[in-house]
A and B are shown apart, each in its own frame.
Chain A
Amino acid sequence: DADVTQTPRNRITKTGKRIMLECSQTKGHDRMYWYRQDPGLGLRLIYYSFDVKDINKGEISDGYSVSRQAQAKFSLSLESAIPNQTALYFCATSGSGTGNEETQYFGPGTRLLVL
């Protein structure tokens, strides 16, 4: 079984709809991250959480919110989806030490299309 899972894997929604992307991990990591990937722009950090009570904005948090329901779960919400949020979204986890413990482990990605 995959260590980091994301649901749904694909989603088509309409402008203005609220949607939630979910991420679960079995690695026992404290740190979790949400990224979006757009062609030519690499991975951009949306939000990150270093433990259950810690939530931080990343580079591009406008239009998104997150919830860290438990150590193993980190959800990303689009309150009112817009077409330029069409992208591939990745969840990732890492340990809280240094060096090798900061290696990130990625989920399979959620492909989102906002019409």
Chain B
Amino acid sequence: ILNVEQSPQSLHVQEGDSTNFTCSFPSSNFYALHWYRWETAKSPEALFVMTLNGDEKKKGRISATLNTKEGYSYLYIKGSQPEDSATYLCALSGGSYIPTFGRGTSLIVHP
């Protein structure tokens, strides 16, 4: 089982603020990194999957970058809105790895 760490554990921002958080993982034998968004009382839903060093993905105001050599991914939210409030999970998958999730970053956006 891989060690996938996310920081910070929780984050409170004001509406309109831009924010970012981190997913760290072992850099050796990397296959794929996934970001999921998990709203309260709902199920996790996929945001992005990244496989190559330097990958950048974007969906609306949310974007993500990947650095496989140093073992981290950043998720950015530009101009946070209350509807962005959720827990954001990252996960590693691929090869012989059991899919492994980090504990998530809980984002609360205050109006």
Contacts and interface: CB of A to CB of B under 8 A. Distances in A.
Given A98-B32, A103-B34, A104-B34, A42 B46 contact: no
B72 interface: no
Contacts of A102: 32, 34, 49, 93-94, 99
A46 B54 CA distance: 33
Contacts of B1: 59
Contacts of A33: 99
Interface stretch (A10-18, A19-27, A64-72, A105-113): A105-113
Interface in A29-77: 33, 35, 40-43, 45, 48, 56, 58-59
Interface string B71-95: 0000000000000000001010110
Interface residues of A, number: 24
A33 B43 CA distance: 14
A103 B89 contact: no
B44 A98 contact: no
A40 B51 contact: no
Specify the main secondary structure of chain A where it touches its partner: mixed
A47 to B, nearest CB: 11
Contacts of A56: 98
A59 B101 CA distance: 11
B98 A58 contact: yes
A102 to B, nearest CB: 4
A41 B87 CA distance: 12
Contacts of A41: 103
A43 B89 contact: yes
Given A43-B89, A104-B91, A98 B51 contact: yes
B49 A103 contact: yes
Contacts of A98: 31-32, 51, 94
Contacts of B49: 99-100, 102-103
Contacts of A100: 49
Nearest to B46: A103
A99 B51 contact: yes
